[in-house]
Amino acid sequence: MFGWEFPPHVAGGLATACYGLTKGLAKHGVDMLFVVPKAYGDEDQSATRIVSAENFEYTGSDTELELLWKHLIYIEAGSNLIPYLSPEEFENISHDVSSKGISHTSHFRHKFRFSGGYGKNLMNEVVAYALLAYNIAKQHIHEFDIIHAHDWLTYLAGISAKRASGKPLVIHVHATEFDRSGENVNQMVYDIERRGMQEADKIITVSNLTRNIVINRYGIDPHKVVTVHNAVDFNTNKFEDIEHGTTEKVVTFLGRITYQKGPDYFVEAAYKVLKRHKNVRFVMAGSGDMLNRMIRHVARLGIADRFNFTGFLRGDDVQQMFALSDVYVMPSVSEPFGISPLEAMRAHVPTIISKQSGVAEILKHAVKIDFWDVDAMADAIYGILSYPALTDMFIRLGDEEVESLKWDKAAMKVKSVYEQVCGSSA
């Protein structure tokens, strides 16, 4: 299994989903090796063995490298195939991918270092990770029947592992470039996503919303794509007895402060609520490229004294934030799934979600609004804050609902996909 992050090193919902899924699969007797670019040694390995790719080195010939690269991605002639190598080193080990013949073969070895995040050299790290994945699979450090790659960052790694081993590949689509960027897609990311989907023996999507995007925007055969909805981890700490220290009601937005998550609609709805209900504090928990714009927007609207920006939260801080909240809002413009509403409902917080989210497909006891309808969002927030009976109803029914949304059930469906793929490739 290839992933980009694993708790407690979390940059978003992807790590949370991988953690929950591996624990669920372990309960169903699936033995896993989870490969990340950079491991820190403090990861929970009770369900899966964690391996750091940077502990390995790429070894091979330039001929082998060229053949591998042709299977991974399309590049311009003259591009440096190996990230981090000097032009001189590159000249010694590579050939133009369009060359007809190779007059000599040289062998080399190289180690890579990863940032462990999403830095400016992200694409270089994606490529380096794919090269190491080839060697990890070829060396058989762990006997395996199937390869599972999570999100576009690991698709090239999954493809190269498949090339090295001949084992079937399942890719897990947690989000697409259309979710992250709207119609302003990064063509290279889109190409990697599409290549991963084409090479995969089976594709798992986290919602029917995402499944439709995979089929219609990437041209993938519907029979190849199956939906397995995410779930919620019931082993995390709950902080139900935290003292608020204030009589103010707290309305929370928690997530990346980017276009995809709809933070600007949350601010607009907050402005409308505060015209009717003064004793409310709005919290925007997260970080992202729209953070400074949101701070300025709140100041322009004259509601800065009613707003808090916490920065990025992780682990117990997330659970404590839910415990302090009276309403949770996820106004995403395009959300493949959205685990945070399940976590909020598990913490007994009434929840408002956009209809443009995958989680809306399975939740019955959350208020659903269109992300752009700030009037409906404001009305929903105001209603929950103003009518205790409504709050009690959402807490009671929501708790019953999330109780059935466990990773064990999602993992059973994923294991079924494994069995289908392994059976068809046997």
Q: In which band, very low, low, confident or very high, does the pLDDT at 76 lie, cut at 50, 70 and 90? A: very low
Per residue in 269-301, pLDDT tens?
999 999 999 999 999 999 999 999 999 999 999
Which distant-in-sequence residues (6+ apart) come within 8 Å of 336 by Cβ? 173, 174, 175, 176, 179, 205, 206, 207, 209, 210, 357, 358
Pick the closest to residue 331 from 341, 317, 342 (CA basis).
341
Q: Please tell me whether the peptide bond between 8 and the residue prior to it is cis, using omega within 30 degrees of 0.
A: yes
Per residue in 225-261, pLDDT tens?
999 999 988 776 565 667 667 789 999 999 999 999 9
Measured over the CA atoms of residue 241, residue 243, residue 249 and residue 254, the dihedral's sign is negative
Question: Which tokens sit at 106?
Answer: 């040289």
Contacts 24+ apart (CB under 8 A), 97-100: 97/66, 97/69, 97/70
What pLDDT is stored for residue 96 in this prediction? 35
C-alpha distance across the termini of the chain, in Å: 20
Q: Which helix (H) or strand (E) holds 173?
A: strand 169-173
Per residue in 44-55, pLDDT tens?
999 999 999 999
CA 333 to chain centre: 16
Alpha-carbon distance of 382 to 227, in angstroms, equals 35
What pLDDT is stored for residue 97 in this prediction? 31
State whether residue 241 is helix, strand or coil.
coil
Residue 100 predicted with pLDDT over 70: no
In the chain, the percentage of residues whose pLDDT exceeds 90 is: 70
Average pLDDT, stretch 322-338?
95
- How many residues belong to the chain? 426
Instruction: Give ranges for CATH 3.40.50.2000 in the chain.
Output: 14-233+408-425, 249-404
Question: Which tokens sit at 410?
Answer: 């999602």
Q: Which helix (H) or strand (E) holds 340?
A: helix 340-346
Measured over the CA atoms of residue 359, residue 365, residue 370 and residue 375, the dihedral's sign is negative
More confident residue, 105 or 248: 248
Pick the closest to residue 6 from 150, 193, 216 (CA basis).
150
Per residue in 359-415, pLDDT tens?
999 999 999 999 999 999 999 999 999 999 999 999 999 999 998 899 999 999 999
Alpha-carbon distance of 32 to 144, in angstroms, equals 8
What pLDDT is stored for residue 106 in this prediction? 58
The 3-class secondary structure across 209-244, one letter per residue, is: HHHHHHHHHHCCCHHHEEECCCCECCCCCCCCCCCC
Q: In which band, very low, low, confident or very high, does the pLDDT at 425 lie, cut at 50, 70 and 90? A: low
Tell me how many helices (H) and strands (E) the chain has.
15, 14
Give me the CATH topology for the region 14-233+408-425.
Rossmann fold (3.40.50)
Task: Tokens 């019953």: give the residue.
Answer: 400
Average pLDDT, stretch 192-218?
97
Q: Which helix (H) or strand (E) holds 249?
A: strand 249-254
> How many Cα atoms are found within 13 Å in the side-chain-facing hemisphere of 300?
9
The CATH architecture to which 249-404 belongs is 3-Layer(aba) Sandwich (3.40)
The amino acid at 142: H
Alpha-carbon distance of 10 to 286, in angstroms, equals 12
Pick the closest to residue 133 from 81, 56, 78, 76 (CA basis).
56
